[in-house]
């Protein structure tokens, strides 16, 4: 599941100028994207969520600037029932009758079930943003990224659409290899971050030239887009993997984590004293150290949501073309 395309060509009928729209509180209808504004991206989401023709019409009129009164959402009040115990040991409610025996001593108890705690550690200091955070910016297109991208993920499979990211969001390769859901006026596609867009402002993306027409008319050249980080599809049924940089030895090595479900914030190795040591990250998406030794290594990986996994018995390789499979994967 890679080059996905969700068509929203019908949404083109409501593409208008980039004027600001009145803000709504997060989660309030018709703010479909919970971003505090009503715009074309809400129309795209509304169609995707199969809103009724009447609701789509109201949203369309609102984006056009017409005076529209949206219906208030009806919230069903919770029903409160009272349970009583009579002399005959009979408990009654508004919906059922239950006989309570003398041995039960007329006692009715209520229990609640708590969700089990996750079986992995959370490092809150590494959390970049909540899952599902939506970013906005400008989308452009270019012809590179499959070979020689700044994320150094060669060889990049042509099964993926690829994209370059602005410097601020790329953040010293923190979002290298991130899998994005990118939405424009014509549709939504999934894209892999393989390169850098140095001149872009926060939120901006530079899409591969063949992918751009799937989200916007190419003659426009620069268009508004929204995007969010989603789980990498190949991580669903395979562990993380590792690739060592050319020239790696027991005296110095560069290691790259691949096939991670979510982008990586921190990589650490277990030293000879049993302490985890953070490995310095480079802009070109390798973690480098001259203190790791000859391996095998125990790595601790922390993603941008603070989720932590430990991967043991990872060998050092002097072959910079070898992809070494790990044993763990980051949680969903």
**pLDDT for position 306:** 97
**pLDDT for position 56:** 73
Domains 129-234 and 235-325 are alike in CATH topology: no
Which has the minimum average pLDDT: 8-12, 192-196, 296-300? 8-12
d(CA 158, CA 13): 32
CA-to-CA dists, residue 49 to 28, 33, 55, 208, angstroms:
15, 11, 11, 28
Which has the minimum average pLDDT: 72-76, 204-208, 227-231? 72-76
DSSP 8-state symbol, 284: T
Predicted confidence band of residue 108 (pLDDT cuts 50, 70, 90)? very low
**pLDDT for position 72:** 52
d(CA 118, CA 99): 40
Domain regions of the chain by residue span = 5-11+19-63, 129-234, 235-325
pLDDT tens readout for residues 216-249: 999 999 999 999 999 999 999 999 999 999 999 9
Higher-confidence position of 50 and 82: 50
Which has the minimum average pLDDT: 95-104, 260-269, 274-283? 95-104
**pLDDT for position 54:** 77
Percentage with pLDDT > 90 across the chain: 62
Q: Which CATH class is domain 235-325?
A: mainly beta
Domain 129-234 has CATH 2.40.40.10: yes
Q: Are 193 and 176 in contact (CB under 8 A)?
A: yes
Predicted confidence band of residue 42 (pLDDT cuts 50, 70, 90)? confident
**In what helix (H) or strand (E) does residue 44 lie, and over which residues does it extend?**
helix 40-48
């Amino acid at each position: 599941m890679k080059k996905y395309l969700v068509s929203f060509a019908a949404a083109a009928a409501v593409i208008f100028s980039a004027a600001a729209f009145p803000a709504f509180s997060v989660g309030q209808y018709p703010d479909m994207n919970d971003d505090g504004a009503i715009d074309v991206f809400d129309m795209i989401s509304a169609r995707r969520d199969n809103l009724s023709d009447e609701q789509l019409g109201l949203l369309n009129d609102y984006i056009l600037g017409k005076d529209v009164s949206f219906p208030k959402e009806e919230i069903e009040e919770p029903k409160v029932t009272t349970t009583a115990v009579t002399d005959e040991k009979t408990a009654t409610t508004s919906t059922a009758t239950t006989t309570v025996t003398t041995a039960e001593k007329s006692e009715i108890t209520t229990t609640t079930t708590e969700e089990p705690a996750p079986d992995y550690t959370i490092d809150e200091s590494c959390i970049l943003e909540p899952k599902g955070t939506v970013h906005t910016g400008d989308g452009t297109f270019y012809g590179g990224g499959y070979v020689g991208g700044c994320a150094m993920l060669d060889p990049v499979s042509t099964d993926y659409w690829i994209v370059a990211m602005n410097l601020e969001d790329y953040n010293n390769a923190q979002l290298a290899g991130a899998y994005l859901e990118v939405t424009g006026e014509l549709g939504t596609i999934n894209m892999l971050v393989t390169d850098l867009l140095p001149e872009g402002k926060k939120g901006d993306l530079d899409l591969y030239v063949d992918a751009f027409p799937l989200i916007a008319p190419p003659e426009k050249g620069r268009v508004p887009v929204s995007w969010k980080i989603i789980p990498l599809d190949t991580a669903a049924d395979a562990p993380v993997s590792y690739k060592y940089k050319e020239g790696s030895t027991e005296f110095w090595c560069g290691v790259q984590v691949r096939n991670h479900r979510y982008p990586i914030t921190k990589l650490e190795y277990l030293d000879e004293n049993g302490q985890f040591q953070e490995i310095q990250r480079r802009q070109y998406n390798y973690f480098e150290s001259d203190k790791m030794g000859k391996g095998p290594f125990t790595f601790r990986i922390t993603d941008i949501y603070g989720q932590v996994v430990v991967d043991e018995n990872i060998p050092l390789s002097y072959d910079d073309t070898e992809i070494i499979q790990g044993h763990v994967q980051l949680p969903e």
